[in-house]
Structure 1
């Protein structure tokens, strides 16, 4: 089953009371209104795109070690996925789907990292729960996400809904700002230029990881600059 089919099934279960957490009609309306507002804002269209130069970031992985995009790119292309956090079931399905294709990504000489504003402890939980063999990097305050044009502030009414669901992002992210990245996926070539970009203001929509493989094949086949 493709990733989006799984996400669609999850969304249908959630909205129709077949999920462990059953939302009220008011909570659903607040969540849908916030997603619609983010789509209508046009922020996704202003985020970094294919052909743009990617920021040269360094972030800590779940063990506290520095991970440098520049160092990774000396070895080969870099696949970066931005996600909201361990608390988001859509994000967890996304990470699991990426793990399934990770061997094919690495076979093409590329590396894969995930970036989230959550704490390193929550990144370790993400890795354990989703059985991941690629690093999750902590992005305090979603600062790197902001460089990619992905960071947005969670509206006040949605903050209240998330708290009602038991998702206190101020604790999960160790940050009182309540900011998140729009889910996004990038392929960065060894020259630092973005070869593929997909940004989703609707967090229930994600591209299938199989879309990454032809991009990596093209990068591998391209003559050196």
Structure 2
């Protein structure tokens, strides 16, 4: 009986320790070649913490930063994580020579083939290092996209009046499937950037003034958001909108209307630093792409009869102009 109690206590302690360790970044006990195979198989990047035993900031990263639960969730999902001694490990010594490392801790972010995506060094707290990881992931995903899919804002022109739109489907805020071909009335499509955008929220509020008029005009207003359902809920909470809001998963609708663009790197860094999770994790990927805040009116035959397209997100179609075109 006593042995059973002792065994249970040690088992409980072991489980507790494992649970605590699981909260932070999970550094795997594999070499770089094995890490490459895992990264390629699981479609991940490789993160290497290159440390020394005498380095104070290295110890602080290990004690204060890497155990952070939120940081661990992100890095464990997107990276194969390695911690390598730069001076007492053969592979670490080789990495120091290869990448000419002089500062510690050094952080190597590699792709599945071992090619350097980004290098960084020095002490970061958990929140700061999460931003570093986000930036690396976005940089990697952007480099994988074909050039034709990665347009700057001055390269997108939007579909033109007279263009016929092919059918698309998406889930609305209630989880119901929306199909363009099933709509028998005129459709007003409004693209927004997300619930983090104050201009979008105010515009959605302003659009409520149209609601009493739409039934008489045989028209339905539909809002297109690139954000996941949990973030669309925030849009609805902030605007009290009763309109249909569609999650444009994978940006398929935005691409079909040629309103999808990638902000420049400076803008992406600003959004990530200021908006954090509301920007980085709100969409179906980490590319940072956004739709131009455009408005299109489609007739019953799914042809564009009017549009408002302005790359300036502060300039939106007026409710007066929309009504006059129905």
TM above 0.5: yes
Query: Are 2:196 and 2:275, in contact at CA under 8 Å, matched by a contact in 1?
Result: no
Of 256, 259, 274, the match for 1:150: 259
Structure of higher RCO (CA pairs closer than 8 Å, 6+ residues apart): 1
Candidates 236, 239, 243, aligned match of 1:130 = 239
CA positional deviation for 1:88 = 0.3
Deviation per CA, 1:53-105: give whole Å up to 9, x if none: 12311110112110111111x2x101110110000001111111111212212
TM-fit CA distance, 1:42: 4.7
Q: Which whole-Å CA distance do the structure 2 matches of 1:151 and 1:42 have between them?
A: 9
SS at match of 1:48: coil
| 4+ residue runs over 4 A deviation | none
Q: 2:156·2:260 contact (CA, 8 Å) conserved in 1?
A: no
Q: Which residue of 1 aligns with 2:302?
A: 192
Residue 214 of structure 1 corresponds to which residue in structure 2? 324
Larger Rg: 2
Gaps of 5+ in 2: 1-151
Q: Aligned to 1:119, which of 204, 222, 228?
A: 228
Deviations 1:117-142 (A, max 9, x none): 10111112211220111111000121
- Cα distance in 2 for residues equivalent to 1:99 and 1:141: 27
Structure 2-normalised TM-score?
0.51
Name structure 1 gaps, 5 residues minimum: 1-36, 217-225
Q: Report deviation, 1:163.
A: 1.5
**Equivalence map 1:38-117=2 (5 Å):** 38=153, 41-44=154-157, 47-72=158-183, 74=184, 76-117=185-226
SS of residue paired to 2:206: helix
Q: TM-score, normalised by structure 1?
A: 0.73
SS in 1 for 2:224: strand
The equivalent residue for 1:14 is none
Question: Measured at CA, do residues 196 and 171 of structure 1 come closer, stay the same or move farther in structure 2, by a change above 3 Å?
Answer: same
**Paired residue secondary structure (2:189):** strand
Offset at residue 43 of structure 1 (A): 2.2
State the partner residue of 1:162.
271
Secondary structure of 1:129's counterpart equals helix
RMSD: 1.4
Q: Is contact 1:182–1:201 with CA below 8 Å preserved after alignment?
A: yes
